[in-house]
Amino acid sequence: MVAKIVHKWRSLALAGVACALVLASGRTGSDVRPAGADAEGIDKIQHVVIIMQENRSFDSYFGTFPGADGIPLRDGVPAVCVPDPASGVCVRPYHDPNDRNAGGPHGETNATADIGDGAMDGFIAQQQGGRMRACAGANDPNCARAGKEPDVMGYHDAREIPNYWTYAQQFVLQDRMFEPNASWSLPAHLFTVSGWSARCANADPLSCTDALQTPTQPFRDRL
């Protein structure tokens, strides 16, 4: 039996998010600095830009970025793996040049199973299980689309996403940022703008209640 060598394969975007960059730019020479301003102070930051990618983990985009806390490598090869229940093989992360990645289901329950009490070894099992479920729609977070298996272990690098790697080189890459919720895209977006994922009756903000998994109900079709 292949030994299970697992790593904390962070999943920032199982539900949606996949990565974030905070870009800080300095003042231009034509700007007038306020009197008494600290030359090294926070006033030098003029803009904060957040780039969100749905259904992507940090390691999916930056797992092999030099210096980042990503996929452990040994001689340039991933030194960790995740067990495949169907084949009994422990699958290592691999470079995936394809534009499309079927990925796995990314609801709250799936994210909990992926993490597996910290073992971080449930990604392939969840992908396989998601393919056996009947999908409620194109955006059903409980399903996994057909694709190369197990493409949930695939990652990109500068060959596919040169712009993102350039941003990471020139600005700030948050390689230890974790989202406050473990669910799919819409709940993650709601957390980004409000710090909460809720379900509300139309035109009645006082009716809002916690809804980490289904914030779109009961007016899903109106979104």
Convert the pLDDT of each residue in 50-103 to its tens digit.
887 777 889 999 999 999 999 999 999 999 999 999 999 999 999 999 988 778
Q: Does residue 116 come out as left (phi exceeding 0), alpha (psi in the -120 to 50 range) or beta?
A: left
76 token code pair:
């340039």
Classify residue 118 by burial, with Cβ atoms within 10 Å: 0-12, 13-18, 19+.
exposed
Confidence of residue 10 (pLDDT cuts 50, 70, 90): very low
For the residues 107-120, what does the mean pLDDT come to?
A: 89
**pLDDT, tens digit, for every residue of 182-204?**
888 888 888 888 888 888 887 78
What per-residue confidence (pLDDT) applies to 69?
94
Tell me if residue 46 falls in helix, strand or coil: coil
CA geometry: angle 157, 163, 155, nearest 5 deg = 20
The letter for the amino acid at 72 is P
Tell me if residue 191 falls in helix, strand or coil: helix
